[in-house]
Amino acid sequence: MPARERRRHRAAPAAGLQMGPSWSLAHVRRLTDTTGIVEHALGAVPNASEGYTLDDNARALVAVVRHHRSTRDPESLELAVRYLSFILYCQTADGWFHNDVGWDRRFLDARATGDPVGRAIWALGEAVAGLGLEGLWMGAARALGRTLAWAPKLSGLRPVAFALLGIRALARSPRARLRAVGDGVTASALKQMAAELAERLVSAYHRTRRDAWPWFEDRLTYANARLPQALVAAWEVTGHGPFLEVAVASYRFLWDHLWNGAYLDLVGNRGWWVRGQARARYDQQPVDAGAMAEAAASLYVATGRGEYLTQAERALEWFYGRNALGAPLYDEATGGCRDGLGPDGVNANEGAESTLAHLLARMAVEQARRRAALPRTRAMA
């Protein structure tokens, strides 16, 4: 889309959209101990027996780095140190990771699957780019230097998508920080890596898409919107137009099928939605609503089209009761987010994944709303 057309489509936030109640890091702090963020909770009480995961600590690192960049809150910086330390603890000698850690800090798995590794690359990229103190971003850079070579070897679309989000963050770093990651880590090398990873997503899209199913796989499962969001990130790094075109088309498919005219009606995890079969309605997960809000916000930043900002806000409202049950999942009293919508009601437990999904979505939408007041520029110069 030409720059002049992007400017012409620029729109202020629509009136009357509900941004929801006030929010805080209170429950994130509650879930965090001297090791990291605990995976699960019973209600709002950390369930220590469930231990920790790399997945959640990577999500938490992304969230608090972004929070610190926006607010300069010293507490979010201290939390970032905790989560970064956990990620370093999980890293293996070859640069891969463990994912599952018990309450006694023993590893409960031999090696992580691809998803947590992709999220770790994302989190480390955000930390290198976003932490102001050299002693902190340097530690993240060294850890990422041991892991980044795994990015082209990741299998599965979502690990690739998570890695692309990390590469996008890293590509915005000053040259000195890139050198700290590794001798061969340059802006051009990151551009090439982003292009190769994005081509894997685009190839999957063209291989699988049909007229009524413009998607990367023959089913919709979890964190679906991370795939178009990752292609927006790849376009920001490379400037390659077809990446943004596929991002727009695939996101549109999601929105058209998940927005029922009144609220976001997500694909449930009790069977997902296989092409040609009935779609599962429950359980609906906060990670899916959050990913939709973030993807829409990223498309707004990339294109300036006001419809994406409106859709980001609509997706965020899922957390506040604009959903299939008309029930809020975000708990303003605790700062946590309940774990999902089931046919019998809301899962009252406020785990790390759900709480962080809301936090990341809320910050993304608020950032997009702030961008609505700024002169239109290309996402990356």
For 292-350, the pLDDT digits (tens) are 999 999 999 999 999 999 999 999 999 999 999 999 999 999 999 999 999 999 999 99
Structural domains of the chain sorted by starting position, each given as residue range(s) with its CATH number in brackets: 1-9+201-381 (1.50.10.20), 51-185 (no CATH)
Question: Looking at residue 34, what is its pLDDT?
Answer: 97
Report the alpha-carbon distance of residue 269 to residue 287 in Å, rounded: 11
Taking a C-beta distance cutoff of 8 angstroms, is the pair 63, 28 a contact? yes
Question: Looking at residue 15, what is its pLDDT?
Answer: 38
- With H, G, I as helix, E, B as strand and everything else as coil, classify residue 185: coil
Taking a C-beta distance cutoff of 8 angstroms, is the pair 312, 366 a contact? no
Reference 341, options 327, 320, 352, 353; nearest CA is 327
Phi-psi region of 325 (alpha: psi -120 to 50; beta: other; left: phi over 0): alpha
pTM above threshold 0.95: no
Reference 355, options 27, 20, 21, 33; nearest CA is 27
Q: Which residues of the chain have pLDDT under 70?
A: 1-20, 375-381
Reference 370, options 32, 69, 46; nearest CA is 69
Question: Looking at residue 1, what is its pLDDT?
Answer: 40
Question: Looking at residue 63, what is its pLDDT?
Answer: 98
Taking a C-beta distance cutoff of 8 angstroms, is the pair 216, 199 a contact? no
Report the alpha-carbon distance of residue 54 to residue 381 in Å, rounded: 33
Alpha helices in the chain (DSSP H): 3-8, 26-31, 54-71, 74-90, 114-130, 134-147, 157-171, 175-181, 187-208, 226-238, 241-258, 286-303, 306-317, 352-371
Cα–Cα distances (Å) from 225 to 8, 24, 235, 289, in that order, read 26, 25, 16, 9
What six digits make up the tokens of 82? 């905790």
Mean pLDDT of all residues belonging to the chain: 93
